[in-house]
Amino acid sequence: MRRTLLCALLLVVPLLMSSSLSWLGADAGLSLLLNAEQDSGPSPLLTVLGLSMPIRQIDGSFYWEARYMFSTTFYGYADGKAFPVENEAADSLWTLALEAESVLGFRFDLGEKLRMGGGFCLSALFRWPVFAVGAGADFRADAFRYLMGRFLYTGLEMRLDWKARETPALGFSLQGLYPFFLVWEKGDVDYWDQLIIRGTVSLRFALSRAEEG
C-alpha cells in the first residue's frame, strides 16, 4: 500500500507543481540494463516509450522537467534476488516497468537553433510482474517485493535540442542512471549491477505561445 501511494505521488506531484504546461513531449529510446548476475543471460537492451513535460520555468538557461518512461522485460528469481533473463527463459516473469523521473539541468546556445546542456536526474523505477512463464508464478510475490524495494536511481544526462520555430521541436539525450539502492545492499554486489545507460529521442509539441521549457 505504501509503495502504491509513493508511486501515485511521484506521478501526480509534478503535475501539481507545473506552473505552465507550455509543451508536451513524446519520447522513445533504448535502455541498456547492466546485469552482473552469473548464468542469467546477457544485459538486456530495452525499448522505452514515454512522456515529458516542464515542471517549472526557472529562466532561459535552466530546465526542470518530469518524464514518465515505460518498458518491459523478463525477470528470474533465485537465491533471494530478482534479475533480468532472456525472453525465452523457461521460468520467468514478464514485467512492466514505469519510471518517474525529475531532471534539473542547465543549457546554453550553440547557435541560432541549437542548444546543448546537462543535468541531474532523480528517478523512481517501479516494476510489476504481470505474466508468469513456467514456474514463474511460484516466485512472483518474492520477486515483486525485491524489485519494489529497489527503485531509487540517480544520475546525469547530456542533451542536445534543436530549437525550431515550428512545432514539434526535436531533442536528443544520453543518460547514465546509478542504482542508489546498492549503497545499502548487503552481500557481495558488483558496483555496476542494474546500472542503466539510455539514449532517447524526443518530439516536443507546443501547447501555448510560451517558449518551450
Structure confidence by residue, pLDDT tens digits, 163-207: 766 668 899 999 999 999 888 877 677 889 999 999 999 998 888
Rounded to two decimals, the pTM is: 0.88
Q: Is residue 81 part of a domain?
A: yes
- Total domains in the chain come to 1
Q: Which CA distances in Å does 178 have to 122, 157, 168?
A: 10, 12, 31
Q: Is residue 211 part of a domain?
A: no
Q: Which three cell numbers stand for residue 137?
A: 508464478
Instruction: Look up residue 18 and give its amino acid.
Output: S
| Residue segments in the chain with a per-residue pLDDT below the cut of 50 | 212-213
Instruction: Report the CATH number that the domain containing residue 58 is assigned in CATH.
Output: 2.40.160.20
Q: Which CA distances in Å does 72 have to 30, 31, 53, 147, 182?
A: 12, 11, 22, 14, 22
Non-local (6+) Cβ contacts of 8 within 8 A are none
The chain-wide mean pLDDT, for the chain, equals 86
pLDDT at residue number 169: 87
The three-class DSSP label of residue 16 is helix
Residues 49 and 30: beta-carbon distance below 8 Å? no
pLDDT at residue number 25: 93
Q: Per-residue DSSP letters for 58-112?
A: --SSEEEEEEEEEEEEEEEEETTEEEE--TT-SSEEEEEEEEEEEEEEEEEESSS
Domain span including residue 127: 2-206
Whole-angstrom Cα distance, residue 124 to residue 8? 11
Q: Is residue 13 part of a domain?
A: yes
Rounded (5°) CA angle 196-41-32: 20
Q: Is residue 190 part of a domain?
A: yes
pLDDT at residue number 207: 81
Smallest CA-to-CA distance from 63 within 54, 76, 72, 74 is with 54
